[in-house]
Structure 1
Amino acid sequence: MQTLNVLDNRFSPFNTYSTLSTDALVAETFTNTVFDKRQVLALMTKLQTTLDIDELLNIFAIEATRYVDFSGLYFKSQNLNKVLRGSRKAKQERRFELKNADDFIGTLSYGINSPISLTNYKVLEHLHQCLLHPLKNAIAYHAAMELAMQDSLTGLGNRRYFDEQLKRAMHNANRHHSLVGLVLGDLNKFKIINDTHGHVTGDLVLQEFANVLRLCIRDSDSVFRFGGDEFAIIVENANDSALAIIESRINLALTSNVLLNKYQLGCSIGSTFMNRADNEVSFFERADETLYRSKMQAAKRLSVVHTRST
């Protein structure tokens, strides 16, 4: 895969006309290239080779940088925010609305350090027309994949998505020599809540607990529901105290949240950091073992409390 890194270029080496002045280049390419049907078809063919939005932006940027000097490219739609890899802050941004007739797809913003000329503007508008349909298809595909990877009740990632993200997080940790942690949670007394108050109440408790977990993690962390009352958190780029902090936040939330405290919901937690010898199975099993020990300790405490009360 060819990757455009705008950090390394003031004006991209993809520009095959770099010996010409910028104005002469734009005028020539606009006249001879933009309206060349073969050139347009070649770009559209490349854009139709993927449904990955990041890759689409990369393919598009390689073409756009032939005509316009920019240091960043950003796409935003109602539910998506994407940044071209290597983008850096510029003096200003020039934003374009991407529309197909009355169908608003999103905005595409260029980080620029100098104004875009009228000719450049027209070139970009022409290129945007090539991007519209591939981008719309990629957004629809992304939405469908999100639904397939999402727990329908809580909106958290499901077990299938967890397996994919764990593999990716471990790969990145090994590659960048960073620390990745895994937190597993299993709710205590949840069956009693379901049996006593009904499944509607049980669903509300699960949804509220999912909201609590979202508040207990950073934006770079990921939270999942396996089904039932089992949850997991992948903590990337962690430090030594990250897992203990998350566990403390969860325990505090269980007592301070009005709904969860009302039903005296508890949660057994097991956590561990990945080591360099781990694969996905060994990493998960070690976290699961710590969760099991936590559940046994919770069961013993409940047993002691019950004995004393009788």
Structure 2
Amino acid sequence: MVTSFTQRRPTQQTGATRSRSAHAVPDSSPTLDQLKEFRLNLMKQLQATLDLEQILRTFFNELQHLVALDGCHYQADSVGLVLDFGETGRHRCNYELSLNDEQFGRLGFSRNKRLLEKEMQLLESVMDVLVYPMRNALLYRKALATAMIDPLTGLNNRGAMAVTLNREMDRMRRHDQDMSILMVDIDHFKDINDRYGHLAGDDVLRQVAQLIDTTIRGCDACFRFGGEEFLIMLTDSNLPLARMVAERLRHTISEQTRSPAPNSLVTISVGVAHFDDESDWPELVDRADRALYQAKQAGRNRVVTDHPQTTTAQAL
């Protein structure tokens, strides 16, 4: 059901002009049969997709057959989503969408001309058609998000990494910007599991993941690559900056991670690679992985930088 319908008082107009509806709106209200047919057709269209943005865009566009509207605003705090269509008018009507006490966000419509009572009644007469498609789309969106999260560390997983790296590498090419990645491996992690058990190893993994997440910038991203390995994507980061971040991270983890072994430190080895117009993300990750291998071969607890032609170790 749809609850909490309100119409806000008009705000002061600041030079905005009203946009014309893309669809013709009948001069008179539709008959009951016409409204029933409209609801059925709208329901078919909304149930044809699980894409939340497409559902709302279709709903907003089809409403123009009933009521001329300038803009639509949707906000769902549960998934951190805000969508806007059209232009924002001075007069608004807002809905809280819910079903059996389950909330699906807030939906509002606006235009510069005040909505008439009969127009608001028409809006309310079709709002319930939106609820189930919205519910399904939100559940689908949450399921996708959950599938991209590593349950142990709370970081994004390898599947999310592939999607993110592909997107960011495309953006780097278009805008000729820098990007670097860090491959991080916890040193002697197998020994921790073997001597102190997997629960102790899981605790170390969670600590390292949290320290990485709080050390990097908000615009960067960290993923659990697998086992005791993590991949960090540093946007707008050249090689010197990436190396500096890696060293800061190495010191932070050795100083702040609680080791299950008395009088022992948890350390990491890091391989650094800078984006060099690779054709796909596995090429870039492979370079960082080779640098990580060099760091472990050189004695662990160190940062090694990979260049397209050469690999150099950062001295301790």
Give the TM interval when normalised to the shorter protein. Answer: 0.7 to 0.9
**Structure 1 position 74 matched with structure 2 position 74:** yes
Give the aligned residue type for 2:192: I
Q: Decide which of 4, 20, 23 is 1:16's aligned counterpart.
A: 23
Q: Which residue of structure 2 aligns with residue 54 of structure 1?
A: 53
Percent identity over paired residues: 28
Q: Which segment drifts farther, 176-185 or 285-294? A: 176-185
Given that residues 268 and 301 in structure 2 are in contact (C-alpha distance below 8 angstroms), is that contact kept between their aligned partners in structure 1? Answer: no
Q: Which residue of structure 2 aligns with residue 265 of structure 1?
A: 266
Alpha carbons of 1:146 and 1:121: their partners in 2 closer, same or farther (altered >3 Å)?
Answer: same
Q: Which residue of structure 2 aligns with residue 162 of structure 1?
A: 161
Q: Which residue of structure 2 aligns with residue 225 of structure 1?
A: 224
CA distance in 2, matches of 1:86, 1:179: 33
More helix by share: 1
Q: Per-residue deviation at 1:135?
A: 1.4
Root-mean-square deviation (Å): 3.7
Unaligned 5+ segments in structure 2 are 1-15, 303-316
CA distance in 2, matches of 1:294, 1:192: 18
Give the aligned residue type for 1:100: L
CA distance in 2, matches of 1:265, 1:93: 57
1:107-146 aligned at under 5 Å gives the runs: 107-109=106-108, 118-119=117-118, 121-146=120-145
What TM-score does the superposition give when structure 2 sets the normalisation length? Answer: 0.72
Give the aligned residue type for 1:293: Q
Q: Per-residue deviation at 1:297?
A: 3.2
Q: Which segment drifts farther, 258-267 or 148-157? A: 258-267
Q: Per-residue deviation at 1:13?
A: 5.9
CA distance in 2, matches of 1:44, 1:75: 21
Q: Deviations over 1:110-167 (max 9, x none)?
A: 6777866655544444453222111111122222223333222112222223222222
Alpha carbons of 1:83 and 1:120: their partners in 2 closer, same or farther (altered >3 Å)?
Answer: farther
Q: Which residue of structure 1 aligns with residue 3 of structure 2?
A: none
More strand by share: 2
Q: Which residue of structure 2 aligns with residue 288 of structure 1?
A: 289
CA distance in 1, matches of 2:230, 2:215: 13
1:139-288 aligned at under 5 Å gives the runs: 139-236=138-235, 238-240=236-238, 243-244=242-243, 246-257=245-256, 259=258, 264-288=265-289
Alpha carbons of 1:96 and 1:28: their partners in 2 closer, same or farther (altered >3 Å)?
Answer: same
Alpha carbons of 1:30 and 1:205: their partners in 2 closer, same or farther (altered >3 Å)?
Answer: farther
Given that residues 99 and 131 in structure 2 are in contact (C-alpha distance below 8 angstroms), is that contact kept between their aligned partners in structure 1? Answer: yes
Q: Match of 2:96, SS?
A: strand
Q: Per-residue deviation at 1:187?
A: 0.9
Unaligned 5+ segments in structure 1 are 1-8, 18-24, 302-310
Alpha carbons of 1:13 and 1:189: their partners in 2 closer, same or farther (altered >3 Å)?
Answer: farther
Alpha carbons of 1:184 and 1:95: their partners in 2 closer, same or farther (altered >3 Å)?
Answer: farther
Aligned residues: 282
Alpha carbons of 1:46 and 1:186: their partners in 2 closer, same or farther (altered >3 Å)?
Answer: same
Give the aligned residue type for 2:265: Q
Q: Deviations over 1:221-248 (max 9, x none)?
A: 3321122101112334x24365345424
Q: Which residue of structure 1 aligns with residue 11 of structure 2?
A: none
CA distance in 2, matches of 1:90, 1:244: 50
CA distance in 2, matches of 1:293, 1:183: 13
Given that residues 29 and 67 in structure 1 are in contact (C-alpha distance below 8 angstroms), is that contact kept between their aligned partners in structure 2? Answer: no
Q: Match of 2:171, SS?
A: helix
Whose radius of gyration is greater, 1 or 2? Answer: 2
Q: Match of 1:84, SS?
A: strand
CA distance in 2, matches of 1:117, 1:255: 66
What TM-score does the superposition give when structure 1 sets the normalisation length? Answer: 0.73
CA distance in 1, matches of 2:250, 2:95: 46
